[in-house]
Amino acid sequence: MNALKSPFLGNLRASSTSRSSTPAPSLPSPDHTQIADPFATALAPNGNGAGTSTAQPPRGRVQKLSSLTPFKRAMSPAPPAPPAPAQTLVQDGSYLQALGLKLSEAVSKAVSQPGGPLGVGEPTVDGKRALPSGRGKTLGALIASELRATEGNPNLQRAVLRLLQRPLSVLLTTLNAHLLPLISSRSFSQFVITQSPGPFNATQTVALSLAGLAAEVLETFDSLGLGAAEASSSGRGTPSIGDGLRGIREGLESIVTKVLGPMFAGIRKELHPVLDALEQLPLAPSPPLRPVTSLKPTSSSSVVHPSLVTLSHGLPSFGRALQRLANISHSAHASLASCLISLVWRAMVALAYRPVAQIARTPPVIPTPLPLTSSGTAASSAPPSKTRFGGRTPPGTPSATRFLMKLPSSRPPSPPSSSGGVDPLEHDAKSVYDLLQGLPRPPESNELAREAVVEAFEAYEAFLTMLSHRGDASNVPEDVPTLIALPVLLRAYGFPTSVAQLLELGETEYREGCVTGFGRAAECGPVVAKRILEVLGPVDSGDDARAPLVEWLQSRSPTTH
């Protein structure tokens, strides 16, 4: 062992001694004057840090090489830091699992009962309160934010869309479960015209809150295009964004329809009979109404129609109900327009088809003179004296006009003059128009629905213009439907029969077949005008009193222009 270690250690010592071949630096000579370096006193040759100003510190190899180099290497600038990568969603199972829990929690909060004490007059049904508005918008905002965060990543976007199906299915099932007992209740379809404090009862209020939640979620679906179509591949094979959500969208739309549809129908069911009653005049005077100035009696003998009394009290409440229904969903704008158009049409039909005896102005009460006897004295109510003709006075000779056929007068009656008061028909039509004007209309954003309502009210305004100078068929506005103007003109020109009798139809058959709405009346108007022309026959000369009426019928008939 010793023999082996000795050469090895000796070689190490030899290599260490042979490695340093550079001579040691020489000490400066004492006869050279050096410049004192105040910063090198610690490196004085005496080793105690007390060197003099003439001492020069030793210089190493690096210092010598740097002194011989004619230039110094400049430090290269540091490269710019790379931009921080954009924060993206973690595309793994943990993110999707956390998002699923987040969506499930949001759905649970949306359908949960509101906390806090019950408010004064707050409606409840079996202990359940109405859901506050805005919860559907909160849930929709969460869905929209998560989907917008996946833009540019179609794989993650499809995964999020698949993840949405489960919580939204839970939302749809919960809403249907809460809504079913409400719409099955009898109070759901009951409307009270003068109900206070609001137009809806407790059952209707809770049902409207559920429909409002579904409508708010549908707004998010509309803004993002979710559920608009089934998944379909485009040219690049990318499925549409609404993949798998069409069934949920249809379910939410069904909830809104189940609530709003019966309510609009219930309002029409309450108001249609009131408007239909305008076809008859009141039998007894009604008290004047203070809230509506247009319903004041026009004279001492005039009376206010009972339907106007009912409408003046009920339409403000129904107006608030229609406004509430229209604010729930955009799809309710079409239903609102249909309801308003039906009310306008019912009012026009009822006023236009009033019988002839009820259209004339209220005549002054004139005592009927008693028939005169042969002696020239007025007959009294005393029993007749006995004569030789069977003990009684022989009856008077009947008038010759009794055996004549009643025909239309040779000239139309003169338009009502302003000195005799206001025509009851014109007054009632103007009052109904003012009341219907107070109902809400579809917003300007829905141009189609709003334009349809505007056209209906323009037709009513033209009907008022025709009533102001009825009797002149040449002044009938074009906006008045043919089947609305026809009965008014027939009575003005002395035809005691109705339109249905001229057509040889029953009144109910005619009303249900031709006068059900603007559209049906527009289809049947030319056919009816042609048939009335055939019944009236040709005009012999220009002096015929029926000439203006016949000319108007020809303008509305499809065969003549």
Rounded alpha-carbon distances, angstroms, from residue 338 to 5, 209, 267, 325, 463: 115, 23, 12, 13, 20
Cα separation, 28 vs 52, whole angstroms: 14
How high is the pLDDT of residue 459?
A: 97
Which pLDDT band holds residue 244 (cuts at 50, 70, 90)? confident
Round the average pLDDT of the chain to a whole number and report it.
Answer: 75
Ramachandran bin of 376, using left for φ above 0, alpha for ψ from -120 to 50, beta for the remaining angles:
left
- List pLDDT tens digits, range 199-224: 788 999 999 999 999 999 999 999 99
How high is the pLDDT of residue 193?
A: 57
Query: Which comes out higher in pLDDT, residue 558 or 446?
Result: 446
How high is the pLDDT of residue 214?
A: 97
What are φ and ψ of residue 125, in 5° steps?
A: -130, 110
Highest mean pLDDT among 15-29, 79-93, 338-352, 482-496: 338-352
- List pLDDT tens digits, range 315-325: 998 999 999 99
How high is the pLDDT of residue 121?
A: 77
Dihedral (CA of 236, 241, 245, 249) sign: negative
| CB-CB contact of 554 with 474 (8 Å) | no
Question: Tokens in use for 140?
Answer: 């929709």
How high is the pLDDT of residue 440?
A: 95
Strand, coil or helix: what is 372?
strand
* pLDDT over 90 (residue 98): yes
Percent with pLDDT over 70 in the chain: 62
How high is the pLDDT of residue 95?
A: 86
How high is the pLDDT of residue 196?
A: 54
| CB-CB contact of 58 with 25 (8 Å) | yes
Which pLDDT band holds residue 237 (cuts at 50, 70, 90)? very low
- List pLDDT tens digits, range 126-183: 889 999 999 999 999 999 999 999 888 889 989 999 999 999 999 999 999 999 999 9
How many residues can be counted in the chain? 561
- List pLDDT tens digits, range 282-311: 665 444 444 444 455 444 345 788 899 999
Cα separation, 252 vs 227, whole angstroms: 11
Percent with pLDDT over 90 in the chain: 45
Q: How many CB atoms lie within 10 A of CB 138?
A: 12
How high is the pLDDT of residue 481?
A: 95
Question: Tokens in use for 289?
Answer: 């109404």
